[in-house]
Amino acid sequence: MAEQIIKPDVNFINDIIAAGGESVKKCFQCATCSVVCNVTPEDNPFPRKEMINAQWGLKDRLFSNPDVWLCHQCSDCTAYCPRGAKPGEVLNAVRKLSIQHYATPGFLAKAVASPKALIGLLAVPVIIFIIAIMMQGHSFFPEGEIIYAEKFMKVPYIDVIFSAAALFAVFGFIMGISRYWKDLTRDMGVSSNPWQRKVKGPMIAIIFETILEFITHKRFKKCEVTKDRANTHLFVFFGFVGLAITTTWAIAYLYGYEFFGIKAFSVFHFGESPYPLYDPMKILGNVSALLLLAGILQVITNRRKNAEKAGAGSYFDWLFIGIITSIVVTGILSEVLRLVDVRMLAYPTYFIHLVSVFFLFAYAPFSKMAHMVYRTTALVFAKYSGREEKKF
C-alpha cells in the first residue's frame, strides 16, 4: 500500500464536534464498532477507520470514502462502544459535513445547519408566498367556501414557485453529486484505499439493484439496537413515494383537462379540484399522508426512546424531522379544516404547509434530505467499485 502523507486538520475536527460528533475523540480504536456492525462489508469494515480519520481531521479521506454513506446509523456501534465514542453519531456528523462540503452554494449549506439562520431561511418562502398572495389580490382569510387553489394560491403560482424551487434543488444536487462522484472515483485503481478496485459492471443494473434494495430496506433491516427504524423509515419512504405519485397524478388531472380536454369519468375527476374523497388519487394521497404521519411520529418516539443508546441527534437531524412533521401535519390539517370549514384556521395552516414544502424542496441539497441522493450515489459507487461484493 502506498505511503500517504497525512495532513491533520484541527478545524475539521472542531467541525465534527460542532456537528454532533462531540464524542469523536473518545474513541480508542478497539474496533468493537466494526465487529458489531451488521451493515459494513467484511473487508476493511467501518466505522473503526472512519473514527480515527475523524479524530485526525482527515477530511479528504472521509469525504471520498463511500463507507460514510454505507452506514445507516443503526447505532449498534454506539450502543456497544465501551468508551461512549458514539461512532453512529460521529458518522452522522461527517455525513452532514459531507453534504455541506459538496453543496452549492456553500453558504446555504452552512445556514441550513445553523439554528441561528432558521428564521432567515423560513423568511424566504414566507415572503415569496405573501408576495404571491398579494399579487393575486387575494385576502389572507378569503370569505365563503374554502377553495385553496381558487381563493388563496392559484395553480400557476404554485407551479412557478415550486418548479423554481425544485430546479434550484436539482441544480444543487447535480453540482454536489458530480463533485462527490469525482472525489469517489479520483483514485480509482491507483488508490491506497483497498476497496476502490476497478470492478466495472453495467451501471444501469447497479442502479436498478440499488433501487431494489431501497424498496425493501434490506440493508436497513440488519440494524439491531434501533430495529424499528427500518420500518418507520419505510413508512416515511413510502409515504413520500405515495405523495409523489399523488402529485404527478394531480398534475395529470389538471393538465389532462386543461391541455388535452380530458373530462372527468367514473371516479377519476379530471380538472375538478378540490377532488372528492372517493377519487382514487385522493385516496392514495390521504393514505400516503397517514403513512407519512405514522412514520414520522414513530421516528420521533423511537429517537427519543433510543436517545440514551443511540445518541440524541443533532439540530440538523431534528430540523429535517421537524419539516417533514410540519408538512404532513399541516397538509392533513389543511384538508380537515377545509372539510369542516374553519376558514380562519384553514388558510394559515395551508400557508404553513406551503412554506414547509418549499423549505423541504428548495433546501433539499443542503439539508438531511440530501442523504437520499448521497447515499444512493455511494451505494451505486460501492457496487460499481467492488466495495460491495457481498450480496444482501
Partner 1 sequence: MEKKFGVYICKGCGIGEAINVDELKKTTAGGARIAAELIKDHEILCSPAGLELIKNDVNEGTNCVVIGACSPRVKFEEFDFPGTITERVNLREFVAWTMEPNNEDTQSVAEDYMKMGVIKVQKGDLPAPNILENLSNTLMVIGGGITGITAALEAANAGYKVYLVEKEVELGGWSAKLYKETPRVYPYDKLDEPRIFDKIKEVEANENVTIYKSTKVEKTDGQPGLFDVTLNTNGSMQTVKVGAFVMAAGWKPYDASKLVHLGYGNPNVITNVQMEEIAKKGKIVRPSDGKEAKKIAFIQCAGSRDANHLPYCSSFCCSTSLKQAKYVREKNSDAVAMIFYKDIRTPGQTELFYKNMQNDPGVLLTKGDVTAVTDAGNGNLYIEAENTLLGEKIKVEADLVVLATGIVPATRATQEYFDALTEAGKKGDEARKAFLDETPKPDSILNLTYRQGPEIPSLEGAYGFADSNFICFQYETRRTGIYTAGCVKQPMTMADAADDAAGAALKAIQCVEHVAQGMAVHPRAWDTTFPDPLMIKCTSCKRCTEECPFGAIDEDEKGTPFYRINRCRRCGTCMGACPERIVSFKDFSVDIVGSMIKGGLDVPDEGARVIVLACENDAYPALDSAAIKKLKLHPGVRIIPVRCLGSTNLVWVTDALSRGIDGLLLLGCKYGENYQCHFVKGSELANYRFSKLQETLSKLQLEEDRCQLMQVAISEYDQLPKMIDDFMKRIDEVGPNPFKGF
Which stretches of the chain bind partner 1, using CB under 8 A?
1-8, 10, 13-14, 17, 25-26, 28-29, 49, 52-53, 55-58, 192
Partners of 268 in beta bridges? 265
Q: How far is the CB of 241 from partner 1 (least distance, A)?
A: 41
Name the residue nearer to partner 1 (CB basis): 54 or 378: 54
Q: How far apart (Å, rounded) are the C-alpha atoms in residues 391 and 225?
A: 22
Name the residue nearer to partner 1 (CB basis): 46 or 347: 46
Contact 311, 75 (CB under 8 A): yes
The per-residue DSSP string of 244-286 comes to: HHHHHHHHHHHHHHHHH-PPPBTTB-TT-SSPPTTSHHHHHHH
At a CB cut-off of 8 Å and minimum separation 6, what does 177 contact?
A: 102, 373, 374, 377
Name the residue nearer to partner 1 (CB basis): 51 or 370: 51
Q: How far is the CB of 73 from partner 1 (least distance, A)?
A: 22
Contact 106, 92 (CB under 8 A): no
Q: Residue 130's Cα: distance from chain center in Å?
A: 27
Provide the b/e sequence for 327-359 (b: ≥16 CB within 10 Å). Answer: bbbbbbbbbebbeeeebeebbebbbbbbbbbbb
For 317, list phi and psi in degrees, rounded to 5. Answer: -65, -45
Name the residue nearer to partner 1 (CB basis): 16 or 357: 16
Among the listed residues 141, 176, 113, the one whose alpha carbon sits nearest the alpha carbon of residue 367: 113
Q: How far is the CB of 18 from partner 1 (least distance, A)?
A: 10
Q: How far is the CB of 76 from partner 1 (least distance, A)?
A: 21
Q: How far is the CB of 14 from partner 1 (least distance, A)?
A: 5
Q: How far apart (Å, rounded) are the C-alpha atoms in residues 79 and 223?
A: 12
Q: How far is the CB of 33 from partner 1 (least distance, A)?
A: 13
In the chain the first and final C-alpha atoms are separated, in Å, by 29
Q: How far is the CB of 35 from partner 1 (least distance, A)?
A: 15
Provide the b/e sequence for 200-226 (b: ≥16 CB within 10 Å). Answer: eeeeeebeebbeebbeebebbbbbebb
Q: How far is the CB of 48 from partner 1 (least distance, A)?
A: 8
Name the residue nearer to partner 1 (CB basis): 13 or 327: 13
Contact 286, 249 (CB under 8 A): no
Region class of 69: left (phi > 0), else alpha (psi between -120 and 50), else beta? alpha
Q: How far is the CB of 378 from partner 1 (least distance, A)?
A: 21
The per-residue DSSP string of 302-367 comes to: HHHHTHHHH----HHHHHHHHHHHHHHHHHHHHHHHHHHT-HHHHHHHHHHHHHHHHHHHHTGGGS
Q: How far is the CB of 15 from partner 1 (least distance, A)?
A: 10
